[in-house]
Amino acid sequence: MTTPLLRAEGLAKTFGESRGWHALFDGAGTAGVRAVDDVGFDLAPGETLAVVGESGCGKSTLARLVLRLLTPSAGRILFEGTDLAALPAARMRQMRQRMQMVFQDPFGSLSPRRTVAQIVAEPLEVFGVGRDARARRDAVAGLLEAVGLSPAAMDRLPRQFSGGQRQRIGIARAIALQPSLIVADEPVSALDVSVQAQIVNLLQDLQARSGFSCLFIAHDLAVVRHIADRVMVMYLGRVMEIGPKDRVYAAPHHPYTQALLSAVPDPDPDAPRRRIVLSGDVPSPRTAPTGCAFSTRCPIARDICHRVRPPLAGVGEGHAVGCHFAAPNPIPVPDLR
């Protein structure tokens, strides 16, 4: 069995928790918002795990926990067998050479006052890669070519590029140090639909050449279908379903996964579709249901769902579901390539 590059165990993050002076008298504090709640997964070398769910489900918080940009409230993050939370600052700085991030906003993630050459060369300079400035400039030229941009553009500013081109610049910066792990936090959600496929294809091509692992955060199941090896569905900070992409798409077991897949648009207006419309709104993370997080919107919820949190239980090879009454329900999903 392949040793995972990344492993998350019982990962949790609570924001706004307070145990102020009043807790000394009444025994209570402010509960806070549990953005990530007991999440665990493995990521193998060269694998892409897509994390999907609605806004506010904890995807971006999870991404930042993995890179230790946030400190977990509980649980462990093991990268190449090393517990990141236990590393001192100097060791963590060295570790960051092997893990990089592609941000959601290609406009806000690039300094408007720096040239493309300065932006892409920054990680090389920070970690002392390259003999001198000329060598680093040559490296930048190669990185720009790798992401489909002309090296002649390296002295231009970000504002002179389109959104898709700016995201390519961000990707060039992310791969500059040849990382083992790239965390892509909704890297195509701010782009036009016509450009999204180009960026997804670029990441796939770079991964095939370099062999890095990818944690791909998204809310669009149509996008992740073509880049993921496995899919993890989250809701209110918890994992609802995780498994190989083909199994999850062919026979989703969790009612939430089924609803998400049924909402994928079909370009053929005459195609038969069975849309699952969920009732109600997503509860506030501050007052999440005590049993199953999805119980207040679930079409098959019963009394036990409101009282007892279901464990993640295996339903097939590498496929697990957190539902008391999980059952396969094939949802035809169009191929949008």
Per residue in 55-79, pLDDT (tens digit) is 888 999 999 999 999 999 999 999 9
More confident residue, 272 or 9: 9
Element (H, E) at 76: strand 74-79
SS3 at position 320: strand
- What is the pLDDT confidence band of residue 39, given thresholds at 50, 70 and 90? very high
Give me the DSSP letters along 189-231: TTS-HHHHHHHHHHHHHHHHHH--EEEEEES-HHHHTTT-SEE
- What is the pLDDT confidence band of residue 277, given thresholds at 50, 70 and 90? confident
The C-alpha atoms of residue 95 and residue 113 are separated, in whole angstroms, by 28
**For position 284, what pLDDT does the model report?**
84
Q: Does the pLDDT at position 330 exceed 80?
A: no
More confident residue, 221 or 101: 101
Average pLDDT over residues 31-35: 81
Q: Does the pLDDT at position 171 exceed 50?
A: yes
Per residue in 285-320, pLDDT (tens digit) is 888 888 999 999 999 999 999 999 999 999 989 999
* Phi, psi (degrees; rounded to nearest 5) at 336: -100, 15
* Phi, psi (degrees; rounded to nearest 5) at 182: -120, 125
Average pLDDT over residues 276-291: 85
Per residue in 76-91, pLDDT (tens digit) is 999 999 999 889 988 9
The C-alpha atoms of residue 59 and residue 105 are separated, in whole angstroms, by 15
Distances from the Cα of 318 to the Cα of 7, 20, 322, angstroms? 15, 43, 14
Which residue has 């991404």 as its token pair? 63
The C-alpha atoms of residue 60 and residue 37 are separated, in whole angstroms, by 13
**For position 31, what pLDDT does the model report?**
62
Average pLDDT over residues 3-29: 72
**For position 183, what pLDDT does the model report?**
97
Element (H, E) at 60: helix 59-66
**For position 308, what pLDDT does the model report?**
96
Which residue has 């008298």 as its token pair? 25
Q: Does the pLDDT at position 3 exceed 90?
A: no
List, in sequence order, every residue forming a beta bridge with 52; answer none if it has no partner: 218, 233
Per residue in 193-246, pLDDT (tens digit) is 889 999 999 999 999 999 999 999 998 888 888 899 999 999 999 999 999 999
Q: Are the C-beta atoms of residues 163 and 190 closer than 8 Å to each other?
A: yes
Q: Does the pLDDT at position 255 exceed 50?
A: yes
Average pLDDT score, the chain: 89
DSSP single-letter state for residue 264: S
The C-alpha atoms of residue 128 and residue 118 are separated, in whole angstroms, by 14
Contacts with 21 (C-beta within 8 Å, 6 or more apart), sequence order: none
Ranges of each domain in the chain: 251-329
Q: Does the pLDDT at position 28 exceed 80?
A: no
